[in-house]
Amino acid sequence: MDLKHIQAQLASFAAERDWDQFHSPKNLAMALAGEAGELLEIFQWLTEEQSHSICSTAKGKKKVEEEVADIAIYLARLCDKLGIDLNKAVRDKIAMNKQKYPVSTSKGNAKKYDDA
């Protein structure tokens, strides 16, 4: 995924509609949370098994894809507005998690690093 290209497309899309005025970090974070809530709603009453097979139907997969895309769009826009390099932030967080959750203490264990 070419994040810089997507961010440029999103900035252009917003500018053409004069929506940039509404895209403050606060509003984008709130929209991101709302879209995450819509993704959660899809899974809310499913069993574990049903949640694993949600994308086995075209309708289920489309619903999930749309919400995941909305989340990615708002996250990309938020990062653009705040000058955050999402690729770097993700790489840094993965490296940090490797330190916080070493295999020796974390394998097969769902506890948070400070509860282990």
| pLDDT (tens digit per residue) in 8-49 | 999 999 999 999 999 999 999 999 999 999 999 999 999 999
Residue 115 has pLDDT above 90, yes or no: no
Domains, the chain, with CATH or none: 3-106 (1.10.287.1080)
C-alpha 49: how far from its chain's center? 23
Per-residue pLDDT reduced to its tens digit, 47-62: 999 999 999 999 999 9
| Predicted structure pTM score | 0.90
Collapse the DSSP code of 72 into the 3-class scheme (helix H, G, I; strand E, B; otherwise coil) and give the result.
helix
Tokens, residue 29: 């974070």
Residue 104 burial (CB count, 10 A):
6
